[in-house]
Amino acid sequence: MKDKKRILIIDDEEAVRTSFQLYLEDCGFQALTAEDGKEGIRLFEEERPHCVLVDLRMPHADGHQVIRHICCRDELVPVIVISGTEIMEDAVRSLREGAWDFMTKPVVDLATLLHRVEEVLKRAELIQQNRLYREELEDLVRQRTAELEETNRALSRAIYNTVVILTQTIEAKDPYTRGHSLRVSEYSTALGKAMGLDDNGLQKLRLGSLLHDIGKIGISSQVLNKPDSLTASEYEKIKEHAEIGERILQNVDFFKPILPLIRNHHVWHDGNGYPLYQGDPESSLEAGILSVADVFDALTSDRPYRDAMTVEEALEVMEDIAGTQLCPELVRTFIDERIYDIDHDTMELNDLKLMMEAVRHEG
């Protein structure tokens, strides 16, 4: 290793340069010499030594200038100051400027010089190895992060496809509600934004709204699509879809945050409705928003037992049931902010894609 190490000696005293050069070459180093700071800087740029020994008091360019130059060019080249000055301020200043060590002249024991040189070279090598290790580790982290992001993207695509399939499955059971889940999701998200929900709340609304009727998979198509009024027992069956939906999704961790919305979207503002309310206070606002969106779209959509209402008629009904079935504040915001004016044709599945991207980052 020593055969490859170049030591640059910068000193205006020829005797010092020569003695250091001969000793270090005998120890296996390649020694380069310069008689002043200007020549030393030139040799440093040409030869790129592994270590520099420099005096402080020299003509043309003193040792302080040399230290600053070397530190600016390559902070991993150790500089040992060897100076005849005994002023402590000079030693402190040189160390602050970037010198690695300080020795005073005359250097009587050259073995001490050799030891100092070997120590700083070893330290520089360790620092360089640590830096390379850190860079390799950072590269590995970047690589693993990229792989994880790709895995998350693949997972997001899989979950996205699952949500689409589940939504299509609901609509296949009840063709009269085709597009209902997506429209409700868009209304809910817009109303949630108007109510100041954070990103997490909006993501739950998007996903919960899309899947709020998933429980209809467990309801007979004859009951869902019955053109006449439902009997009391049939209506009780329909009411089960909220709890069925909760049971379908409850064993999948990804869907657990939206379970209160699935269960409670038919719970009324005054506590009536179905089933018995269960959930935390934070989810009650989200469930209330979903209820407003669900009611409006149901009123303005054709159903087996009635034709769709106009927007004006639906809004009047919503104002009538505000305070009982629906939250008055949410109904007022829905109307005042004209949430009902959303153009669903241009939105399509964009909100769903945004939701999946946000969920991926959150996960």
Q: 103 near 82, Cβ under 8 Å?
A: yes
Q: What tokens appear for 253 in the block?
A: 């961790």
| Per-residue tens of pLDDT for the chain, all 363 residues | 445 799 999 999 999 999 999 999 999 999 999 999 999 999 999 999 999 999 988 888 899 999 999 999 998 999 999 987 666 788 888 989 999 999 988 888 899 999 999 999 999 999 989 888 888 888 888 898 888 888 877 777 777 677 777 777 777 776 666 788 889 999 999 999 999 999 989 988 988 998 999 888 888 888 887 878 888 898 899 899 999 999 988 888 888 899 999 999 999 999 899 988 776 666 789 999 999 999 999 999 887 777 899 999 999 999 999 999 999 999 999 999 999 998 766 554 454 554 444 444 444
- Residue type for 221, please? S
What element of type H or E holds 81?
A: strand 79-83
Q: Which of 327, 344, 254 is nearest to 287 (CA)?
A: 327
CATH topology of domain 2-132: Rossmann fold (3.40.50)
Is pTM beyond 0.75? Reply is no
Which overall architecture, per CATH, does domain 174-362 show?
Orthogonal Bundle (1.10)
Q: What tokens appear for 294 in the block?
A: 């669900």
Q: Which of 303, 72, 139 is nearest to 295 (CA)?
A: 303
Interior CA angle at 360 toward 252 and 258, to 5°? Answer: 40
Q: Which of 47, 117, 43 is nearest to 79 (CA)?
A: 117
| Domain spans in the chain, listed from the N-terminal domain onward | 2-132, 174-362
